[in-house]
Amino acid sequence: MARRKRQSHTWVYLVWGINGTVMICLLVAAAFYLTNLRASAAEELVETPLPNATQKLPPTSYFLPTLTPNPFYTPPVFETSTPFVLENGPRPSIIGFSLAGRPIEVYTFGVGEREYLIVAGIHGGYEWNTVALANELITHINEHPEVIATDATLYIIRNMNPDGEAHVHGVDGRVNNNGVDLNRNFPADNWTAEWDRDGCWIYRPTTGGLYAGSEPETRSVISFINSHKIEALISYHSAALGVFPGGVPWEGPSKQLAKALSKATKYPYPPIDTGCEYTGTLADWAVENGVGAAVDMELRDHRNTDFDENLKALKVLLSFIP
Ligand SMILES: [Zn+2]
């Protein structure tokens, strides 16, 4: 009996001993766990974890499948015309918009009574160097305002065909977005939609427009000229053929202006005759509609601006009285 009793006591001690041990282990584990939590909380307070450091990948993958490019998709090409910003100078006026909605800008220098006009870029990207020349002239005159006499005003339309210029610097940039040659679209007496291509520019198909003055770029320049009394104008082109006076046949004052410009620039006058008959040009329309003298003047090539020559040409233009 006594032995049995001692034996049952042993079991009780053993069970309670195990219980106690387990309890102590649990307490130690709990204490350890809490200490760790506090430590990590303190770490979080002190350090700002990197965004990626706390991110854990979800148990399931949500990665999208790799996209296969559509072979029929052509990414759009965003064409931009050459930007021009005149630092510390007058802001241009906008006389109209191209078919694509690009502004046609005119810079004004001087406040005198005699008004002169330079038009560049009528043949867009094919003759982009005329736009580059206009930009150089604008910058130069802004830095040297004394080149404009007190009784003169000079207007510079720096890019009459901004869509063509934005399209490409090359043969495809010559026409506007309707495929019209703007220097054949003016409502001069000899306007025609089609013409004999002998001796003329033939690198791409083009037209004089649906009707005379059909294009917004042309109408912008017409309304600008009609609202001023222009003594003389130069419409810039390239390349090489020389200086063409306005009028059919060439009118006296325009011939005088062409001669004087040729003398200053060494561009050919009379211009080189390729046998082409020019119809609906800006210069012809201008002299038929009250402009004192007008010329189409061609730079030497399709790349350079011939700046020094054209600074002399500017002097000739601004002192010309028809
Ligand atoms: Zn041209």
Q: For the segment 121-141, what is each residue's pLDDT rounded down to a tens digit?
A: 999 999 999 999 999 999 999
Ligand 1 center–CA 28 separation, angstroms: 94
Contact 182, 176 (CB under 8 A): yes
* C-alpha to C-alpha distance for 186 and 124, rounded to whole angstroms: 16
pTM: 0.76
Q: Alpha helices of 93-177 — where are they, by DSSP H?
A: 128-143, 162-167
Least confident of 61-75, 100-114, 173-187: 61-75
Cα diameter, the chain:
151
| CA of residue 307 to ligand 1 center, whole Å | 18
Task: Kindly give the distance from the C-alpha atom of residue 220 to the centroid of ligand 1, in angstroms, as a whole number.
Answer: 18
Rounded to the nearest angstrom, the distance between the alpha carbon of 148 and the centre of ligand 1 is 27
Q: What percent of the chain has pLDDT over 70?
A: 84
Q: Ligand 1 centroid to 278 CA: how many Å? A: 11
How many whole angstroms from 299 Cα to the centroid of ligand 1?
A: 10
Mean pLDDT of 8-26: 82
Q: What is the mean pLDDT of residues 264-293?
A: 97
Highest mean pLDDT among 15-19, 116-120, 170-174: 116-120
Nearest one of 265, 267, 266 to 311, comparing CA atoms = 265
CA of 123 to the centre of ligand 1 (A): 5
How far, in Å, from the CA of 257 to the mean position of ligand 1? 19
The distance of Cα 143 from the centroid of its chain, to the nearest Å, equals 24
Please, which residues have CB less than 5 A from ligand 1, an ion? 123, 127, 237
- How far does the centroid of ligand 1 lie from the alpha carbon of residue 103, in Å? 20
Distance 149 CA to ligand 1 centre (A): 29
Choose between 43 and 272: higher pLDDT: 272
User: pLDDT class for 172, splitting at 50, 70, 90?
Assistant: very high
Q: Which long-range contacts (CB under 8 A, 24 or more apart) does 87-94 make?
A: 88/142, 89/138, 89/139, 89/142, 90/142, 92/158
N residues, the chain:
322
DSSP state of 94: E
Phi-psi region of 170 (alpha: psi -120 to 50; beta: other; left: phi over 0): left
Measured CA to CA, the distance from residue 260 to residue 239 in angstroms comes to 19
Residue 38 pLDDT grade (very low, low, confident, very high; cuts 50, 70, 90): low
Q: What is the Rg, in whole angstroms, of the alpha carbon atoms belonging to the chain?
A: 40
| Residue with more model confidence, 198 or 251 | 251
pLDDT at residue 14, rounded to an integer: 84
How far apart CA 143 and CA 245 sit, in angstroms, is 31
Give residue 78's pLDDT: 47
What's the pLDDT score for residue 264?
97
Residues 6 or more apart whose CB falls under 8 angstroms from that of 121 comprise 127, 128, 130, 131, 134, 157, 158, 159, 160, 161, 162, 164, 165, 236
Q: Are strands 103-109 and 93-97 parallel, antiparallel or unpaired?
A: antiparallel
Q: How far is the CA of 122 from the centre of ligand 1 (A)?
A: 7
Integer angstrom CA distances of residue 145 from 90, 93, 94, 264? 11, 18, 22, 21
Task: Please give the average per-residue pLDDT across 201-229, as a whole number.
Answer: 96
| Distance in angstroms (rounded) separating the CA atoms of residues 45 and 251 | 89
The structure tokens listed for 179 are 């495929």
Residue 296 CA to ligand 1 center (angstroms) comes to 8
Give the distance (Å) from ligand 1 centre to CA of residue 318. 23
pLDDT in tens, 56-71: 666 665 566 666 777 7
CA distances to 112, 164, 171, 271 from 102, rounded to whole Å, are 29, 11, 20, 33
Expressed in angstroms and rounded, the spacing between residue 187 Cα and the centre of ligand 1 is 17
Residue 14 structure tokens: 């053993």
Provide the 8-state DSSP code for 103.
Answer: E
